[in-house]
Structure 1
């Protein structure tokens, strides 16, 4: 079978698809990713079928045409026009041509991607949705769908609803009023570990911290999108003088791979896959991105979350409701919060309970046959 995976060109939108893509490839299926060429190293060795603009170009075009910053405003109207409108406008022609040449039997598209569903409609093949975080609220999801459907209609195409929804977000982190859809298939989320490509973590060695080996280790990361050296510096400064060692992970976009911080208990690194970064850690300070939260909880570690927009406040709220995280309102509050989550055993106990729930979810290699069986 030929399976085309499609996603918005951003780490947080593509990384959740990798476990299923790898399972498909290992099972003998032919796979490819429909996204921007700049993400080729991230999804390697699966090939990329280039389509559409980069995330930065899409944000710029959206701001030019609407005057709105989509990186800060994710109201239904904004999300609908950004994901279902502008991104489709910028990528439809290339996506349809690339998908036609690849000839997929199945398309798997992440929740916010509509180039994949558009290609499926064009080729008359089925498609499945793949979640990347907490289930979208109905007004947001419908605004995105309605806008994308209108763009498809303008091209003489009719978008079909997905035949299945693959969901890596565990039940314990969903909203209190959430109800699973009938077509939902859960899949265990996995912390990222590259197979190949630059930035794969090859050669990564956890810092030794001579003379401080007995101290807890704290990972500080704001994810793959937020590039804010000042905020990272303030977080690290708040940890100064605490009895901890700190590993700071910079985003892939970081220009020089450095921070104006130093000390025997601080180590700064560029992008390293999360599975490697989490080894030997005792707690994590982050901005609440879906992939980071799932990876950290999957490792059974407590968090301090400073939510920085979009879905992050909700992710932080749900993680705190489990008792596995403290939520802070500013970078300078991180140090004291870290001390609390390290000293109070209940945070780690809650994180380990979440890890058990995540570990009980089906593996990608077990989900793949469930998905293909529904094709009939």
Structure 2
């Protein structure tokens, strides 16, 4: 079977698809990605069919059209027009051409991507939706679909609904009023490991090996050296070792922090960063929250925009995280998380629930059998 994976060109949208894509490749299927070439390294060695614009260019075009910053505005109008409108306008022709060339038997598109559904509907092949985080509230999902459907009609295409919804977000992290859809298939989320060799080695803290180690990350999108420096300053007031991971856009820059307690690194797959770590300080991105909880580690979350406050609230409701309102609170919060066993206990309980979710190989089998 030829399976096309389609995604918004951003780390947090591509990475959740990788476990299923890797499973498909291991099973002998031919796979490819439909996204922008700016994230081709993430998908490697799988071929990427480039469509549309890179994320920064799409954001800039949306700002030019609407005067709105889509990185800070989560209103249905903005979300709908950005994902269902601007991105479709910029990528539709590329996507349709690439899909004709690849000739997929099945399309799997992440929740915010509508190029995949567009080409599946044009080619008459089945497609499945794949979540990237907490379930979208109905007004957001409806706004994206309505806008994308209108853009499809402009191209004489009737947008077809997915036959299944693959969901990596565990029940225990969903909203209290959430109800699963009838077509939902859970998939066990996996921290990004990367393929091939890596020169990353966990840092050594000479003479400080007995102290707990804390990872600090603001994810792959937020590039705020001042925020990371402020977090480091707060944490350095306490006896802990600190690993700070910069976003991909920051490389090869570092931070103005010099201390035997601090090590700064560029982008490293999350699964590798988490080895030897006792707790994590983050901005609450979906991929980070799932990876950290999947490893059974407690968190301190400083939520910085978009879906992050909700992710933080849900992790805190589990008892696995403490939420802070400013960088200066990080050190004291980390100390409480490390010294209070209930945080780690709650994180380990969440890890058990995540481990019980459906593995990618079984999800692949369900999708291929249902799509026939």
Q: Same fold (TM over 0.5)?
A: yes
- With structure 1 as the length reference, what TM-score do the two structures score? 0.98
Residues 1-376 of structure 1 aligned to structure 2 (within 5 Å):
1-196=1-196, 202-376=198-372
How far apart are 1:241 and its partner, in Å? 2.8
CA contact (8 A) 1:75 1:140 kept: yes
Q: 3-state DSSP class of the match of 2:249?
A: coil
Q: 3-state DSSP class of the match of 1:253?
A: helix
Aligned residues: 372
Q: 3-state DSSP class of the match of 1:263?
A: coil
Distance 2:188 2:239 in 1: 34
Distance 2:212 2:253 in 1: 24
CA contact (8 A) 2:251 2:266 kept: no
Distance 1:26 1:245 in 2: 39
1:160-203 Cα deviation digits (max 9, x unpaired): 1000000000000000000000000000000001114xxx7x01
Which structure 2 segments of 5+ residues have no match?
A: none
Q: 3-state DSSP class of the match of 1:246?
A: strand
CA contact (8 A) 2:219 2:288 kept: yes
- With structure 2 as the length reference, what TM-score do the two structures score? 0.99
CA contact (8 A) 1:220 1:247 kept: yes
Distance 1:271 1:118 in 2: 32
Distance 2:66 2:11 in 1: 25
Distance 1:6 1:160 in 2: 15
Q: 3-state DSSP class of the match of 1:23?
A: helix
Distance 1:256 1:28 in 2: 37
CA contact (8 A) 1:257 1:269 kept: no
* Structure 1 outlier segments of 4+, above 3 Å: none
